Structure 1
């Protein structure tokens, strides 16, 4: 049993390391093929690194975007090491290192200078890479670390911080390249977030209502597959046959939907299951540790 666990853990580590490398390749393509030729700024720390590199371009000592991405993340690595976890920090450092290395190593190719095309395609590629990394339990550094730390201690989201930071990046793009580029960068940030949400589904909440005649079997099977609380409503009645049923309510993430489907197939394939998306949660909702 111990040997199986070791093999599985090794497999997980290899998968995370491979994902970190793929993320590095994708973000470097977004940066070198689209953002830089189109004068588009990314969001978060990457956008800040681009801004500093632009402002220091005429200085005797030039700072590359690739180097700045890693350097600006170093204080956040330290924060993650003490506040989140050592394994989480290791793979975050690996992902940021791969992105910096690939941005520096990959030869830039100018496909187009059209800012709208550069904003859209760069954001889509980067959003896919970031979502893929998050889906495999890897942070890409930057404001993710700050967000996880604040949520760990306060339980609150840091959406406001992200909005303010990215608004600063957008305004900087306008001041440096002209105000139309501020709108192009804002468009890119929006597309990046939407694509990332499409790929990374763990944070999307869904309310599940189950009408069943086998409540104990369904509850046991769901909780064996997913760590979720379930509310039980006894005494429901079917309108067609007037048979007694039980209604179960729970909230899952979209990421857990395949496990729910499997649990229902095993416990009560004839149950009626209704799923409502875009649920807003107030109170405690268990989230696996990074």
Structure 2
């Protein structure tokens, strides 16, 4: 058992470091290959760092690099993550931010003149994938990721929707300072970024599962032992075709749990009927997966 625990810890560490590297490469490619050549702004702290870089180029005698500001602006948010989310989570977030800052310098910008629409689509998609992949592996990419997770823990609001809402500030700033054409493409890349994050990072999505079965206890035991979810039991249901007595089980799960619950139901009752629907919001007692 000690060897298994040691292996799990080692595997978990490697997976998080790998996710941090994937994100750092994704944000560097999105920034230097698409956003900078396309003259548009990213979402979150990266977008604010770009704005400060542009302002320094225009109005200051020296230039403040995007990579430096990306790291500096994240420092106070590390404190928020450390106190509100978890120490390990914040440690790996710091690793992702440091890697991202380095990769922004290492990956050199392309001197190309691509269509702004192409830059907006590919920049948002690549960064959204990197961010969602990092979140899916239990780390964040700093900045609004941390604020968004704390906000979601308090309200249950979708992370991607929060991301899009807050980044309207960046769109407005880009419009007033640098022109509304650039703001339009910035809005597009921010929207795509948020939607791709939601597509990749599905932990916050809740699913209602209804199971109609003749062997309820085996399914109940499997769900409670492996997933620790509450279940509502409706007795005395009747099938219209065979007029056999059945039991209806209703539970709410994370989308992450879909594979597990399908295996549990299939093993306990191969003939059970199961329907799944996405839940917009959950009120009452529901245990979120812990972020550490």
Q: TM-score range by the shorter chain?
A: over 0.9
After superposition, the Cα gap between the structure-2 partners of 1:110 and 1:246, relative to the gap in structure 1 and judged at 3 Å, is: farther
Alignment-derived partner of residue 124 in structure 1: 125
Alignment-derived partner of residue 226 in structure 2: 225
Alignment-derived partner of residue 206 in structure 1: 207
Q: Deviations over 1:18-57 (max 9, x none)?
A: 1101110011000000001111111111111111111011
Task: Say if 1:34 and 1:119, in contact at 8 Å, map to a contact too.
Answer: yes
Alignment-derived partner of residue 182 in structure 1: 183
Superposition deviation, residue 156 in structure 1: 5.7
Report 1:19-98 matches (<5 A): 19-58=19-58, 59-98=60-99
Q: Secondary structure at the match of 2:167?
A: helix
Instruction: Give the Cα–Cα distance (whole angstroms) in 1 for the partners of residues 157 and 77 of structure 2.
Output: 18
Alignment-derived partner of residue 267 in structure 1: 268
Task: Say if 1:150 and 1:158, in contact at 8 Å, map to a contact too.
Answer: no
Instruction: Give the Cα–Cα distance (whole angstroms) in 2 for the partners of residues 78 and 105 of structure 1.
Output: 27
Task: Say if 1:207 and 1:279, in contact at 8 Å, map to a contact too.
Answer: no
Superposition deviation, residue 151 in structure 1: 5.1
Instruction: Give the Cα–Cα distance (whole angstroms) in 2 for the partners of residues 21 and 264 of structure 1.
Output: 37
Instruction: Give the Cα–Cα distance (whole angstroms) in 2 for the partners of residues 128 and 161 of structure 1.
Output: 17
Q: Deviations over 1:101-150 (max 9, x none)?
A: 10111111245432111111000000111111111111111122223335
Superposition deviation, residue 155 in structure 1: 4.5
Structure 2: stretches of 5+ with no match in the other structure: none
After the TM superposition, which of the residue ranges 3-12 and 279-288 deviates more from structure 2?
Answer: 279-288
What RMSD in Å do the two structures reach over aligned CA positions? 1.8
Superposition deviation, residue 77 in structure 1: 0.5
Superposition deviation, residue 60 in structure 1: 2.5
Instruction: Give the Cα–Cα distance (whole angstroms) in 2 for the partners of residues 217 and 11 of structure 1.
Output: 32
Q: Secondary structure at the match of 1:57?
A: helix
Task: Say if 1:34 and 1:111, in contact at 8 Å, map to a contact too.
Answer: no
Task: Say if 1:128 and 1:196, in contact at 8 Å, map to a contact too.
Answer: yes
Superposition deviation, residue 203 in structure 1: 1.3
Alignment-derived partner of residue 148 in structure 1: 149
Q: Secondary structure at the match of 2:276?
A: strand
Structure 1: stretches of 5+ with no match in the other structure: none
Instruction: Give the Cα–Cα distance (whole angstroms) in 2 for the partners of residues 286 and 207 of structure 1.
Output: 14
After superposition, the Cα gap between the structure-2 partners of 1:161 and 1:14, relative to the gap in structure 1 and judged at 3 Å, is: closer
Given the two structures, how large is their TM-score scaled by the length of structure 1?
A: 0.94
Query: Aligned pairs, how many?
Result: 289
Task: Say if 1:34 and 1:112, in contact at 8 Å, map to a contact too.
Answer: no
After superposition, the Cα gap between the structure-2 partners of 1:221 and 1:161, relative to the gap in structure 1 and judged at 3 Å, is: closer
Report 1:164-179 matches (<5 A): 165-179=166-180
Task: Say if 1:70 and 1:97, in contact at 8 Å, map to a contact too.
Answer: yes
Superposition deviation, residue 235 in structure 1: 0.5
Instruction: Give the Cα–Cα distance (whole angstroms) in 1 for the partners of residues 251 and 133 of structure 2.
Output: 27
Superposition deviation, residue 162 in structure 1: 4.5
Given the two structures, how large is their TM-score scaled by the length of structure 2?
A: 0.93
